[in-house]
Amino acid sequence: MNINTNIILNAIPAFIILAIAESIALTKEHKNPETKKNVMASLTIGIIYLMTTFFSKGLLLFVSTIVYEYRFFHIEHFGWWIWGLCFLGEDFSYYWYHRASHSIRFLWANHSVHHSSETYNFLTTFRQGWFSSLNGSILFWLWMPLFGFTPEMILYAKSVSTIYQFFLHTETIKKMPAWFEYIFNTPSHHRVHHSSDAEYLDKNHGGSLIIFDRIFGTYKDETFPPHYGLTT
């Protein structure tokens, strides 16, 4: 089964173009709060993070391949429902990793970089911690190869989730249809997550979905415009 696990690299030019287009549009509307210093900080962090992704991707493939040899189940037919379970399992893993990153100081030290911007737009996505592959985050996904999901499937699902989450970092989209807001993570939900307001803190940890936040009690609706950045 050949799977393109480089889809994030292929998507980077689109990320850059969209970030520039959003910035130009906001500037024309006199709604762009970005400073040159903030833009350069986001781009610099993003470029260095991009260099580290090769190592983190290789580490995930290496470790999960070893674990896959000891899998409990062998999946022979990779139909649409298997892929559906894979994406659901990946989002479940991401939820708990993301939630842990807000409550465990060792993980927060890396993740706080993503919350450091006091503005919220596509450029915010580029602020990613450089050491996520070294802080044990991979452990949150290792149950998946044990259940028979191939390392390539897991990496592909993680990549699709990462691409989807890029589009969450914007204030230009206010609300999606109610049914969509109930199931999927949206810009509105993720603005709450990035907020430094006490009422919004440590809420909406989902990746592509918001259902796990609803199930595990960490969901919060956007009821007022958030303020962004770190609390201290």
Instruction: Return the pLDDT at 214.
Output: 98
Cα distance between residue 41 and residue 47, in whole Å? 10
SS3 157: helix
Domain locations in the chain as residue ranges: 7-216
Instruction: Return the pLDDT at 2.
Output: 65
Q: Which helix (H) or strand (E) holds 16?
A: helix 7-28
Q: Please say whether the beta carbons of 49 and 129 come within 8 A.
A: yes
SS3 203: coil
Beta-carbon neighbour count of residue 8 at 10 Å? 18
Instruction: Return the pLDDT at 8.
Output: 83
Instruction: Return the pLDDT at 131.
Output: 81
Cα distance between residue 163 and residue 179, in whole Å? 21
Instruction: Return the pLDDT at 5.
Output: 65
SS3 31: coil
Instruction: Return the pLDDT at 208.
Output: 98
Cα distance between residue 110 and residue 179, in whole Å? 34
Residues of the chain predicted below pLDDT 70: 1-2, 4-5
Q: Quote the pTM value.
A: 0.92
